[in-house]
Amino acid sequence: MSHLVGFPDMHYMEAWKADARGLPMFPVTAFEDVIRDEIAAAINDRPVPREAWEPEVDSLVMVRVVLRIEEEFAINLPDDVMPAGGFESVEHCVATIIETCRERWNAGQSVREEV
């Protein structure tokens, strides 16, 4: 039986589609849903509203997002995905993280292991 190294069984797996090689394609919607869900939860958990000068997605929110992605998708993200000062908008944050996740996902696709 073959399986992909680094890709855990999870509830998103059933929605993934295979590419021509039979490997799972990058599930952009699943990643985006997780990122947006965690940002919304973190913002709602804030004890006080953010000040106008604070980034919309600060470092504490980013830590939560990165930990959730790493837990749910078994992808290790580099530290530089969390820029100093955070992100000024949710859209910029989502786009940046998805691009990094896509790169990591594609890098892991070339490894197959027989079990």
Q: DSSP state, 25?
A: P
> Token digits for 86?
């955070």
Secondary structure, 3-state, 40-99: HHHHHHCCCCCCCCCCCECHHHHHHHHHHHHHHHCCCCCHHHCCCCCECCHHHHHHHHHH
- Return the residue matching tokens 């696709």: 109
pLDDT in tens, the chain (115 residues): 333 444 444 444 444 566 566 667 889 999 999 999 999 998 888 877 777 888 889 988 999 999 999 999 999 999 889 888 889 999 999 999 999 999 998 887 554 433 4
Whole-model pTM above 0.85? no
